[in-house]
Amino acid sequence: MSAAEAKHAGINLGDSDRETHEKAGSEIFGFWIFLMSDAVIFALLFATYGVMLRGTAGGPSAADEYRILPAFIETLILLTSSFTFGMASVAMKHGRGLRTVLAWMVITLALGLGFLAMELRDFSTMIADGALPSRNGNLSSFFALVPLHGLHVAAGCLWLAVMLVQVPCFGLDKRVKINLLRLGLFWHFLDIVWIAIFSVVYLQGLIR
Amino acid sequence: MNGAISPTILGRLEWLSLPFVRAWQNPTPDELIGAGAATIVVVGMAGTIALITALGKWRYLWRDWFTSVDHKKIGIMYVVLAFVMMSRAVVEGVLMRMQQATAINAPGIVEPDHFAQLFSTHGSIMIFFMAMPFLTGMINYVMPLQIGSRDVAFPLLNSISLWLTGGAAGLMMVSLVIGQFSTGGWSGYPPYTELEFSPDVGPDYWIWAVTLGSIGSTLSGLNFAVTIYKMRCAGMTMMRMPLFCWTTLCTSILMIFAMPPLTVATAMLALDRYLGFHFFTNDLGGNMMNYANLFWLFGHPEVYILILPAFGVYSEVVSTFSSKELYGYRSMVIATMSIAVMSFTVWLHHFFTMGQSASINAAFGIATMAIGVPTGVKIYDWIWTMFMGQVRFTVPMLYSLAFMMTFVLGGLTGIILAFPPLDYLVHNTLFLVAHFHNMLIPGLLYGMLAGYHYWFPKAFGFRLNEKWGQLAFGCWVVGFYLAFMPLYVLGAAGMARRTAEIFEPAFRPWLYVAGIGALILLAALVALFVQLWVSIREREANRVDAGDPWDGRGLEWSIAGPPPEYNFAVLPTVSGGDPFYTSKRNGDAYLPPERYENIEVPKNSVVGPLLGVFSAATGFALVWHMWWLAILGMLAIIITVIARSFIRDTHRIVSATEVERVDLAWRDKLFASRSISREMETTSANQGFAEVAA
């Protein structure tokens, strides 16, 4: 078994850092499993949204209320942030120096925060228009699914902020590297969930 | 005395939330029972604290147990938790039987509302805080030893799981003393558990206790699965693993995928209750059926989460005490995996009567009957394992035999329930109650007790008393049949479950028999505790220092009992199934290692206990609407996790000389032990060194 052999799905460190690579196998695999478990939660919320589409009780549905343009811009922001995080991971893997890694992480964090700010503005517009989650089941399921993704992004941003402290503190040591790999998976996972949200929730609302 | 005491600080807590105050104002038997239960909790807690203080053991407990991340200690703590919670839930079960036996055209001993709390806590505790901790503890202790690993993949996460479960169990206990518990049953069906019908704190206690417990279980499942996939010793291929590891793997996979639906269901119910969402309300587009589907999407795999580890224990026990290789190992593995997959395809049979079409019911009914097939395969495999073996009727073996007979009976009534037209007749009756007790008592409890007797000498270095074990076993079996067979009759006769008062005098004799059965079950529990007490007192006579009291087959028996914290002085290499049994026969067991090396072990951590306390405090605050405490608790959780990520010094080294010293000391005891034949294994001659016929 060569050291460079892939030990887990995603970016492996075998080419550049064998010692961390040896340890990363079970750590990253464990995180994949966590993500799968988390994916079940989202899947169930999608299903709930699907079955509650008609539960409007004479009130507005989420599809009547959200605006597609900001959602589209949010999609672009989040996809871009996944790219920038990818750049941070690549820089970390190939030892491009702390500053490069940090720079890409800061950009990612900024994009993440931008996404959250826009999303919060969307929600407040909806709420100001009277589309509260307590209005009907349709809105309840919308406000469980989409903000849960937002909450994940917020957790990701907090995690990024912590890593922004840890990278200068400890340098790119074993634990920092493994943590960045995990954060990367988390961040890309949120992207995938958002793509599902954009398609199933937002675009579906357009075709009715 | 009415109204909230201090809404800003104590939320909606009132003086009348305390059962003592209620009993003082209104001393009915019902309130006195409530206050009495609360007193037991308070006095028990105070007594435990006083005892630990008097013995000066706080330091020891904190350093050697509470902050430990050693999988063996965590496993033992889980099992202790399970026994404590089991004691409460058994008493509640007995109380319910007493109520139904006395409430025939009479009010009985407790009020209907109190009775509803009893069946809700009994069910919730037995599933989430007895069964789950018991099997999680058993897996924790045994599985890493069996696959030849030094620990689980994520030791700290393991401690966090334990303390989340502990915190959740704490919430259950607090609900006895402050406020009241849910009256909505263990499944907490809305809309009844919505604010409209249950505005009290009960469902909130249920929501947060179950949520914490389910998060803990998800994390445990993740931990075990990664451990099995990644931490097996050299040569331990998947198909060489002891069957207990296979059932652990399947249970873990089920935990990973089946606990999230529960978390989603309870979280949605919480959103309904706290923020006015409309997931499951009767009005404004809510749909209770979503809850039923989500809950049972968890609930049915949960049945197999509970039963599979017990299947694993039986496989180990039957094989060991028959001195034979497990018959049909491969078919057992396939059956276990099939059960795990099929368990996700049958959830709808929990609500055949709730409105779907006959064809959907038929599909799920057929799937349900089909899942009996792999289970049947297992039963035959165990029987064939015993066939022509040297069967010894030790206590674990007695439980295994009782299981095989009783479980098949329960399976047959399961087939009846799986048939939708028959289910329409007996659903929501005591027939169902009898059925699931008939599955879970042999299918979980007997298995865990068999495992407890089987691995106890490994964990503590001495055997449990055989006589008291047999007595407890007899009580569990006789008590079970007396308590639950009458319920089949009553259910078939139409007696609804969860009935606080009965108006059909013809039910009386059956209810009396069931009541006697319940008392015998209580005696069984007492016998277990007496057995533990007696065994501890006689421990010197029953030591099995050499570590192999039963002529065991797996790697766990190849080391000292109790094992050192790093388990194996040198990680083993295996070349087949039943590695230790084979190497004893080949004469290459107990070979001293060529050299000893430093071993890195994880340091203790306060993170687990802290997260447990903070999350329980948050849950409590949410129950009582003490918003400041809830926010504080959540912040404390986040800060703890972040602070931990900055701690770099997380491991320490056990030096090679220390490892050598401990190993040689054990080897001295081993070679001083007398090897014994299997006829003598339940006598004091058993020092844990098995005689091997050449």
Evaluate whether residue B144 is within a structural domain. yes
The confidence score (pLDDT) of residue A19 equals 82
Evaluate whether residue B39 is within a structural domain. no
Per-residue pLDDT tens digits for A130-185:
999 999 999 999 999 999 999 999 999 999 999 999 999 999 999 999 999 999 99
The confidence score (pLDDT) of residue B2 equals 67
Q: Are B452 and B560 within one domain?
A: no
Name every chain A residue with its beta carbon within 8 A of the beta carbon of B144. none
Q: Find the residue in B nearest to A179 (Cα).
A: B645
Distance from CA of A191 to the nearest CA of B (A): 20
Evaluate whether residue B344 is within a structural domain. yes
**CB environment B509-546: b (16+ within 10 A), e (fewer):** ebbbbbbbbbbbbbbbbebbeebbeebeeeeeebbbbb
3-state secondary structure B401-453: HHHHHHHHHHHHHHHHHHCHHHHHHHCCEHHHHHHHHHHHHHHHHHHHHHHHH
DSSP secondary structure letter of residue B256? H
Closest Cβ–Cβ partner in B231, B275, B283 for A133: B275
The confidence score (pLDDT) of residue A11 equals 86
Name every chain B residue with its beta carbon within 8 A of the beta carbon of A45. 264
Per-residue pLDDT tens digits for A73-114:
999 999 999 999 999 999 999 988 899 999 999 999 999 999
Q: Are B539 and B552 within one domain?
A: no
Percent of chain B scoring above 90 in pLDDT: 97
Whether B279 has its CB under 8 Å from any CB of chain A: the answer is yes
Query: Residue B104: phi, psi to the nearest 5?
Result: -95, 105
Q: Are B557 and B537 within one domain?
A: no
Show the tokens assigned to B298.
Answer: 């968890």
- What is the interface pTM, i.e. ipTM, of the complex? 0.96
d(CA B97, CA B597): 59
d(CA B69, CA B607): 10
Q: Are B475 and B572 within one domain?
A: no
Evaluate whether residue B13 is within a structural domain. no
Q: Are B84 and B206 within one domain?
A: yes
Q: What is the mean pLDDT of residues B461-485?
A: 97
For the cut 50, the answer to whether the pLDDT of residue B650 exceeds it is yes
Evaluate whether residue B645 is within a structural domain. no
Q: What is the mean pLDDT of residues A22-35?
A: 92
Query: A133 vs B231: CB contact, 8 Å cut-off?
Result: no
Residue pair A19/A125 in contact by the 8 Å Cβ criterion: no
Whole-angstrom distance between the N-terminal and C-terminal Cα of chain A?
A: 54
**What rounded mean pLDDT belongs to chain B?**
96
Structural domain count of chain A:
1
**CB environment B612-645: b (16+ within 10 A), e (fewer):** bbbbbbbbbbbbbbbeebbeebbebbeebbeebb
Residue B191: asked if its preceding bond is cis (omega within 30°), the reply is yes
3-state secondary structure B640-668: HHHHHHCCCCCEEEECHHHHHHHHHHHHH
Residue pair B298/B258 in contact by the 8 Å Cβ criterion: yes
Q: Are B516 and B435 within one domain?
A: yes
Residue pair B140/B219 in contact by the 8 Å Cβ criterion: no
pLDDT classification of A1: cutoffs 50, 70, 90: very low
Q: What is the mean pLDDT of residues B525-539?
A: 97
Interface residue of A34, A38, A140 to substitute, partner B, most B CBs within 10 Å: A140
Query: A136 vs B278: CB contact, 8 Å cut-off?
Result: yes
Percent of chain B scoring above 70 in pLDDT: 100
- Partnered with residue B163 across adjacent β-strands are none
* End-of-domain residue from the set B543, B574, B592: B543
pTM: 0.97
pLDDT classification of B364: cutoffs 50, 70, 90: very high
Domain coverage including residue B306 = 57-543
d(CA B157, CA B160): 5
Q: Are B588 and B684 within one domain?
A: yes
The confidence score (pLDDT) of residue B200 equals 95
CATH number of residue A52's parent domain = 1.20.120.80
Q: Are B399 and B461 within one domain?
A: yes
Structural domain count of chain B:
2
For the cut 60, the answer to whether the pLDDT of residue B394 exceeds it is yes
Q: Find the residue in B nearest to A44 (Cα).
A: B261
Closest Cβ–Cβ partner in B153, B231, B284 for A137: B284
Q: Are B185 and B308 within one domain?
A: yes
Q: Are B514 and B551 within one domain?
A: no
Q: Are B372 and B495 within one domain?
A: yes
Closest Cβ–Cβ partner in A37, A48, A170 for B290: A48
Q: Are B554 and B533 within one domain?
A: no
CATH number of residue B473's parent domain = 1.20.210.10
For the cut 60, the answer to whether the pLDDT of residue B1 exceeds it is no
Contacts A–B by Cβ distance under 8 A: 109
Residues 140-169 of B with CB under 8 A from A: 153-154
Query: B290 vs A40: CB contact, 8 Å cut-off?
Result: no
Name every chain B residue with its beta carbon within 8 A of the beta carbon of A135. 278, 284
Q: Find the residue in B nearest to A138 (Cα).
A: B285
d(CA B270, CA A133): 13
- A-side interface with B, Cβ within 8 Å? 25-26, 29-30, 33-34, 36-38, 40-41, 44-45, 48, 51-52, 54-57, 59, 133-138, 140-141, 143-144, 158, 162, 166, 169-170, 173, 175, 179
Domain coverage including residue A58 = 3-207
Name every chain A residue with its beta carbon within 8 A of the beta carbon of B284. 55, 57, 59, 135-137
Query: B271 vs A140: CB contact, 8 Å cut-off?
Result: yes
Separation in Å, CA B458 to CA A7, B455, B469, B566:
35, 5, 17, 15
Query: B264 vs A44: CB contact, 8 Å cut-off?
Result: yes
